[in-house]
Structure 1
Amino acid sequence: MSGDTLVTLHGRSVLACAADGPKLCEGADALRVIGEASGYGAELVVLPVRRLAVEFFTLRSGVAGELMQKFVNHRMPLAVVGDISVHVARSAALRDFVTEANEGHQLWFVDTMSELEEKLRRQGESATA
């Protein structure tokens, strides 16, 4: 995948996916990204929100569940970066899903890379406390 880069954020190796890459629409797409991340030795994938198929945000479509299950099964945390407020405003179920995801360690939704960096910093501090 051209444009994807390996970076280090707060001591973690991160595959930062390019914003202009292919959309993740099904499980095979998630596996492709997970494979690339694993090949680089990444501990986390950062995916711009525009890389998610619009169906992802309609939970009943099953796309979110299928994609997230691949990341969970392969123990590859995922951070989705970008504004999803329009989608969340339309769906209480999605709002609840995002809230629950952000409380865990496998999937996060953040507006900016700065917010992700802060989350990783806090996580690092709590791990050493």
Structure 2
Amino acid sequence: MTTMEKIHGIPVLMYPADGEIIGGERDALDLVGNAMYQGAAWVVIPADRFDESFFRLSTRVAGDIVQKFVNYRVGLAVVGDISRHTEASPALRDFVRECDRGTQTWFPADLEELRERLRG
């Protein structure tokens, strides 16, 4: 069950660790739609909720999902340890680094790191 939380005054829609696997654009549109309906500026999803294809850039799944969030100006935080994926893929490591430099999509290791980032 999703919960809405305010972090430093920012409305954040938090998804639980258990739930359906997120694997493509259609799932992203559902997440964005739910966020917009509830008035969330950010969506937080545990990394384990994403299909393995999300972490293989050649599948374009990550790019498609991130693009939906960008198009609708909703922030996306993929929270959790994804080191096994980034260690196996220099391209993914670069993608994550670039996302983390921006203001739209982040890959924080935990919720505390996210809270610090949202502090501004």
Indicate the TM-score class for this superposition, using the shorter chain for normalisation. Answer: over 0.9
Which amino acid in the other structure matches residue 17 of structure 1? Y
Which amino acid in the other structure matches residue 86 of structure 1? R
Match of 2:69 in 1: 71
The 4+ residue runs of structure 1 with deviation greater than 6 A are none
Please state how far the C-alpha of 1:32 moved relative to its aligned partner. 0.5
Larger of the two Rg values belongs to structure: 1
Which amino acid in the other structure matches residue 65 of structure 1? G
Please state how far the C-alpha of 1:18 moved relative to its aligned partner. 1.3
TM-score of the two chains, using structure 1 as the length reference? 0.91
Among 14, 17, 21, the alignment partner of 1:16 is: 14
- Structure 1 residues without counterparts, runs of 5 or longer: 124-129
Please state how far the C-alpha of 1:63 moved relative to its aligned partner. 0.5
Q: For the residues of structure 2 that align with 1:99 and 1:69, how far apart are their CA atoms?
A: 16
Q: For the residues of structure 2 that align with 1:48 and 1:40, how far apart are their CA atoms?
A: 19
Q: For the residues of structure 2 that align with 1:109 and 1:25, how far apart are their CA atoms?
A: 17
| Same amino acid, percent of matched pairs | 47
Please state how far the C-alpha of 1:72 moved relative to its aligned partner. 0.7
- Structure 2 residues without counterparts, runs of 5 or longer: none
Which amino acid in the other structure matches residue 53 of structure 2? E
Match of 1:81 in 2: 79
Please state how far the C-alpha of 1:19 moved relative to its aligned partner. 1.1
What are the equivalent positions in structure 2 for 1:102-113 lying under 5 Å apart? Answer: 102-113=100-111
- For these two proteins, the number of residue pairs brought into alignment is 120
Please state how far the C-alpha of 1:23 moved relative to its aligned partner. 1.4
Question: Could you list the per-position Cα deviations for residues 66-85 of structure 1 after superposition, in whole angstroms to 9, with x for gaps in the alignment?
Answer: 11111111111101100000
Question: Could you list the per-position Cα deviations for residues 9-66 of structure 1 after superposition, in whole angstroms to 9, with x for gaps in the alignment?
Answer: 0110000011112111110100101111111100100010011110011000111111
Q: For the residues of structure 1 that align with 2:92 and 2:112, how far apart are their CA atoms?
A: 23
Q: For the residues of structure 2 that align with 1:105 and 1:52, how far apart are their CA atoms?
A: 21
TM-score of the two chains, using structure 2 as the length reference? 0.98
Which amino acid in the other structure matches residue 64 of structure 1? A
RMSD: 0.6
Q: For the residues of structure 1 that align with 2:21 and 2:42, how far apart are their CA atoms?
A: 18
Q: For the residues of structure 1 that align with 2:103 and 2:55, how far apart are their CA atoms?
A: 20
Match of 2:94 in 1: 96
